[in-house]
């Protein structure tokens, strides 16, 4: 996959700098997810993520550690984080043709713009659900 002429590669990594990566092509989409798994991974709020074709993610330094578990779909979910500082970095679901990059790990997190909200009905009542983008999950539809 090659970057579109208007796409500038994005870079990021963990807080301590042990893991560094580059996004070399336009994301397939971006999303904010309020599912319970993302709440655990984020420390309470939603996860803000870029979904990429696997070949669009190039790890330039270090290696993330993986945590695997069985998701509600019945598929294995893989969450990757820095083994030194614990920064959440990547994820994917086995059998799916995309990888996820956590927006908070971007060098410039302001480059992230969510195109959809997922699992809105799982958001705690104290967390804002963005209804300015397509919203899936019940709560924000009403």
Domain assignments of the chain as residue spans, ordered by start:
10-122
Per-residue pLDDT at 60 = 97
Half-sphere exposure of 26 (CA within 13 A, CB side): 7
Helix (H, G, I), strand (E, B) or coil at 66: strand
Token reading at 109:
């997190």
By the 8 A CB rule, do 17 and 11 touch?
Answer: no
| C-alpha span between 123 and 22 (Å, rounded) | 30
Per-residue pLDDT of the chain (142 residues; tens, 9 = 90+): 444 567 889 999 999 999 999 999 999 999 999 988 888 888 888 999 999 999 999 999 999 999 999 987 788 999 999 999 999 999 999 989 999 999 999 999 999 999 999 988 889 989 889 889 988 884 433 3
The CATH code for residues 10-122 is: 2.170.150.70
Which run of H or E residues covers position 38? helix 36-42
Per-residue pLDDT at 4 = 56
Per-residue pLDDT at 45 = 87
């Amino acid at each position: 996959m090659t970057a579109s002429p208007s796409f500038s590669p994005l870079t990021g990594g963990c807080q301590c700098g042990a893991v560094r990566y580059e996004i070399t092509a336009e994301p397939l989409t971006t999303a904010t997810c309020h599912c319970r798994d993302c709440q655990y991974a984020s420390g309470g709020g939603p996860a803000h993520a870029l979904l990429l074709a696997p070949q669009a993610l190039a790890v330039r330094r270090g290696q993330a550690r993986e945590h695997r578990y069985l998701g509600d779909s019945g598929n294995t979910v893989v969450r990757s984080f820095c083994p030194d500082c614990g920064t959440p970095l990547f994820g994917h679901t086995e059998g799916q043709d995309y990888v996820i990059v956590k927006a908070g790990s971007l060098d410039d997190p302001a480059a992230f713009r969510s195109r959809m909200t997922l699992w809105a009905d799982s958001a705690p009542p104290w967390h804002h659900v963005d209804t300015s983008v397509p919203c899936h999950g019940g709560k924000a539809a009403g």
